[in-house]
Structure 1
Amino acid sequence: MTTPVRLLALVALVSAVGAGAQRHNSNAPIDFGADHIELQDKANRAVLAGNVSVRQAEMTLRAARMTVAYTGQVVDGSPQVSRLDASGGVVVTRPDQTARGQYAVYDLNRRVVTMLGGVSLVQGGNTVNGGRLTINLDTGRAVIDGSSVGGTRTGANGSTTTAPGGRVTGRFSVPKRN
């Protein structure tokens, strides 16, 4: 049973998560590290595998594997990256947020990160879980829905939870009162 108070609290949390975020500099260079890289120039992509870490400005993406798509244009000696597709225990960190999921797509042209598969978003003591998370890096707005792509997720304390299909769940911290 969802009460209007719970629904309003969820809306407030998701809004607070977005409002607390700074505007991301999607024009900053992208630094990467991986155990292995395969360049596929004819396909305008690179495949990074093994402990992949990609950093742009204040945002870091970590995953087991990532495909980097670029336009084929080279500006100042660097290819113009248009999209990052990550899979395998994806973690996106920003100054005050950590998001986890099984898959992520960072569309640099739209400045949007979309995560799927047992998604968890943590900011401070607040946690929201769902099937899909979309973060607009220009506005900082985060939207979580209970897509049926749910799954199992592991919390920061090592606990494992499974969200019921199609539902958004979470926990809100409450300030100490006198």
Structure 2
Amino acid sequence: MIRVPHLLLVAAPLGLLAAHAALGQVRHDSNAPIDFSAQSIELQDRANRAILTGGVTIRQATMTLTANRVTVSYTGQVTSGSPQASRLDAAGGVTVTRPDQTAKSNFAVYDVNRRVVTMIGNVSLTQGTNRLNGGRLSIDLDTGRATIDGSGVASSTAPGGGVTQQGGRVSGRFSVPKRD
């Protein structure tokens, strides 16, 4: 999803780690139309949303998001016959790809207005042989900056069930140049 030409780990406050794209990346065109395909769609006009289910594929410029289910929230405004999407909430086997980079997670939110993708739960970010794993990934599509930390959510087996916050660590592997 995010193109990170090389990853630089930086220790951040409270043990959070950041992966940052430092080289010139092509800026994502977040003004491009958002195309989709799915097995079914449920339009909820009064709530200004559409629920896409079954092998959902979302494409915007060079970025592709796939998931089992995506809820598209949109404004009441219509431009060129299409509603204006403001947020996409994806669940179930979420994968986001951009040229030479893939991110996977349990859930993702694409805030179209802020141009930020946040992925939560069993996150992995791969570029070539470089790989990072964590609990939450945030990608700023304007700057190309990707931040991964060990926090995340998980199902609770505690009485009452629900969702709990879990602390964690970021792990990964960076490749190194071959020497002669």
Q: Aligned partners of 1:21 and 1:83: how far apart in 2?
A: 24
Alignment pair present for 1:138 and 2:142: yes
Alignment TM-score, normalising by the size of structure 2: 0.82
| Distance change >3 Å, CA 77–CA 168, structure 1 → 2 | same
2:89 alignment partner AA: D
Greater percentage in helix:
1
Residues 33-74 of structure 1, C-alpha deviations (whole Å, 9 max, x = no match): 001100101110000000000000000000000000000110
Residues 92-142 of structure 1, C-alpha deviations (whole Å, 9 max, x = no match): 000121000000000000000000000000011100000000000000000
Runs of 4+ in structure 1 over 6 Å off? none
Aligned-residue RMSD, C-alpha? 2.1
Q: Aligned partners of 2:62 and 2:119: how far apart in 1?
A: 18
Alignment of 1:55-70 (within 5 A): 55-70=59-74
Q: Secondary structure at the match of 1:42?
A: helix
Equivalent of residue 99 in structure 1, options 103, 113, 116: 103
Unaligned runs of 5+ residues in structure 1 are 1-7, 152-163
**Alignment partner, residue 79 of structure 1:** 83
Q: Is the 8 A contact 2:120 2:152 kept in 1?
A: no
CA offset at residue 22 of structure 1?
2.1
**Alignment partner, residue 167 of structure 1:** 169
Q: Aligned partners of 2:65 and 2:91: how far apart in 1?
A: 11
**Alignment partner, residue 15 of structure 1:** 20
Greater percentage in strand:
2
Equivalent of residue 49 in structure 2, options 45, 55, 74: 45
Q: Aligned partners of 2:154 and 2:123: how far apart in 1?
A: 7
Unaligned runs of 5+ residues in structure 2 are 1-6, 12-17, 156-165
Q: Secondary structure at the match of 1:176?
A: coil
Percent identical residues: 70
2:41 alignment partner AA: I
Equivalent of residue 111 in structure 1, options 98, 110, 115: 115
